[in-house]
Amino acid sequence: MSLGLLFLRVIIGTVFAAHGVQKLFGWLGGGGPHGTGAWLGSMGFRWATAVAVLVGLAETSGILFAGGLGTPFVALAMASVMVVAVGAVHWKNGFWNTGGGFEFNLSLWAVAIAVAGTGPGRYSLDNLLNWDDDISGPWWSVGVAAVSLAGGALVLATRKKT
């Protein structure tokens, strides 16, 4: 199980981090804070450049997820970004990713929630620091799911009508 969790954390964490460095630094074909901010502003987000930096930091925390450090807190950041992405971009396109839908984002959200509950596994920095028993369990999944949904809904509700 620990090897499976390591594999899952590294792949999903790297995917998140790659998206984050696009937003923070403009790497890998991304828009950087200003380009991403302009895009977010077009969707009604207030303080769009600041939001772009926050989204970029949340996604870049995938590096911590990959290493298994602060796992439920990083999972919360990642899950929250997915809730906002679904609400702002993907929901209107339906389920299937091929049409720009929320299928992929839902999968990433589910992985973050699941790993928050199971813990990062034996091959993690949380385990090395002996934190894993304190910051994992079913209530962490419930908490991360609930807070990401509530926080994401709040962020979406603050957008300007476009």
Structure confidence at residue 135 (pLDDT):
85
Look at the chain and report how many structural domains it folds into.
Answer: 1
Structure confidence at residue 17 (pLDDT):
98
Residue 74 lies in a domain: yes
Residue 52 lies in a domain: yes
pLDDT of residue 161 exceeding 70 = yes
Instruction: Kindly report the average pLDDT of the chain as a whole number.
Output: 96
Residue 63 lies in a domain: yes
Residue 148 lies in a domain: yes
Residue 162 lies in a domain: no
Residue 70 lies in a domain: yes
pLDDT (average), residues 69-98: 97
pLDDT band at 162 (very low <50, low <70, confident <90, very high): low
Residue 34 lies in a domain: yes
pLDDT of residue 83 exceeding 80 = yes
Residue 36 lies in a domain: yes
pLDDT of residue 121 exceeding 90 = yes
Structure confidence at residue 134 (pLDDT):
84
pLDDT (average), residues 68-89: 97
What b/e string do you get for 113-132 counting C-beta neighbours within 10 Å, with b at 16 or more?
A: bebbbbbbbebbbbbeeebb
> Could you tell me the residue range of the domain that residue 37 belongs to?
2-157
Q: Which helix (H) or strand (E) holds 22?
A: helix 2-25
What b/e string do you get for 20-55 counting C-beta neighbours within 10 Å, with b at 16 or more?
A: bbbbbeeeeebebbeebbeebbebebeebbebbbbb
